[in-house]
A and B are shown apart, each in its own frame.
Chain A
Amino acid sequence: MNVGMDVGYSATKAVAGPERLVTFPSVVGTPDRSRFVVGGEDGHIVLDLPGDGTWLVGEGAVTQSRFVDRREDRGWIAGDAYRRLMLAGFTQLTTATSCDLVVVTGLPVAFYSADKDALRDRFLGQHRVTREGRRAQLFQVTDCRVIPQPFGALLAEALNNHGKIVNHDLATGSVGVIDIGGKTTNLLSVNRLAEIGRETASVNLGAWDVARAVRDHLADRCPSLELRDHQVIDAVVKRAVKYFGAPVDLGAVIDATIEPMADQAIAQATQLWNGAAGLDAIIVAGGGALLLGPYLRQAFPHVRVVDNPVFANALGYWRFAQRLG
């Protein structure tokens, strides 16, 4: 099975086919067995890992766990939580008891060269996992490619489901990619699919900056409201939250936060790409694409937000894996 996996700071996305796309919050927590239905019948991801205990992963951890682990630092790819998210992703894609996998995944451009070998080593080899309510599963990752994250969105647009180049304008042109993640925004410039290193960079801004602004706002306006990180993100998406049953509009604070973020991204892209007028296209992807896309389009008329920005990287990884497998 060929897999594209995007383990992000906020959400894990995995793809194994045009209709096999899964996502769950990148949250790992302690299983509180008194509060969820044993046997996995409630749809929660409960993993039993040899030598690593039992863990609740994803939405179940957000709502049920007493203690959760959600990291936002570069070193998290070496941590246990990253491996648990990776294995949860595999179990979401298949119930097969034994499965060979070819995996393509990505890293932020700033860490790519230094960390790609370590990340590939994390994926390669055998992984045993027992998901509650299922038989034990053995995943054998036989091949793994780690590519710069924003390449995922580009390949999602340029390749078909068999991994063949179908969009020659993108594949042979000069293209900019702005990938707005939870914590990091990656800017990538390619010419004929070759990365132009001097025009590629990471910026420390992302959708979580909006979430933090909303959290600060709620601390003032709704002091009795205690929301976990992913519940704040949900409030950002809905642009509102309920406080003692009454709706609280968050539109103003969200807009006030996004505008300076967009300005920063535009300034970085303008400087990096020399005004960006020489690029044939700019693709915008990532969880923050829909928030910042309209602002970016005002600055660069050739900006295009991809169809499914949240899954774009994982889809591109999978299409590339199709080419390899």
Chain B
Amino acid sequence: MARVVMSFALDSQKDKRILHYLEGLPGGEKSKAIREALHAHVGGGGITLGDVYQAVKDLERKIGSELALTQAGSVEAGFHEPDDEPPDVAAQLNGLGL
């Protein structure tokens, strides 16, 4: 996972309780405390609306694929389980650009 550093601004008067709290934390603990507070604020353990949308679309494709298989009795449907990757195709893809 890539590490991203962001800065944010505080007002020395209006945010003095936050400042006092952060300054009281041991070294290396500030980022952790801020991350946890933000996770609690946004909810879902860091899951974004985009992730939820993608999960719904994946599910939709999977259901559509299985429905097509059931109806047609064939393996011609386009969409499969994400983990169901043919090894040779996955290897080809993983080596793209090398």
Contacts and interface: CB of A to CB of B under 8 A. Distances in A.
Interface stretch (B16-24, B34-42, B78-86): B78-86
B93 A193 contact: yes
Interface of B: 1-7, 50-51, 53-54, 57-58, 61, 76, 78-80, 82-86, 88-90, 92-94, 96-98
A166 B58 contact: yes
Contacts of B93: 155, 165, 171, 193, 320, 323
A102 interface: yes
Given A147-B96, A161-B54, A168-B78, A193 B5 contact: no
Nearest to A101: B2
A100 B2 contact: yes
Contacts of A63: none
A99 B2 contact: yes
Nearest to B5: A98
Given A160-B82, A166-B58, A169-B78, 10 more contacts: A1-B4, A2-B2, A18-B53, A19-B50, A97-B6, A161-B51, A164-B85, A166-B80, A168-B78, A192-B92
A90 interface: no
Nearest to B92: A193
A116 interface: yes
Contacts of B85: 164-165, 171
Contacts of B84: 168
B82 A1 contact: no
Given A116-B97, A172-B86, A160 B4 contact: no
A320 B94 CA distance: 9
A162 interface: yes
A96 B4 contact: yes
29 contacts: A18-B54, A96-B4, A96-B5, A97-B5, A98-B3, A100-B3, A101-B2, A102-B2, A142-B2, A147-B97, A151-B96, A160-B54, A160-B82, A161-B51, A162-B54, A164-B83, A164-B85, A167-B79, A168-B78, A168-B84, A170-B78, A171-B85, A171-B93, A172-B89, A192-B89, A193-B93, A194-B92, A320-B93, A323-B93
Q: DSSP class of A's interface residues: helix, strand, loop or mixed?
A: mixed
Interface string A6-30: 0000000000011100000000000
Contacts of A155: 93
A210 B84 CA distance: 44
Contacts of A101: 2
A116 B84 CA distance: 31
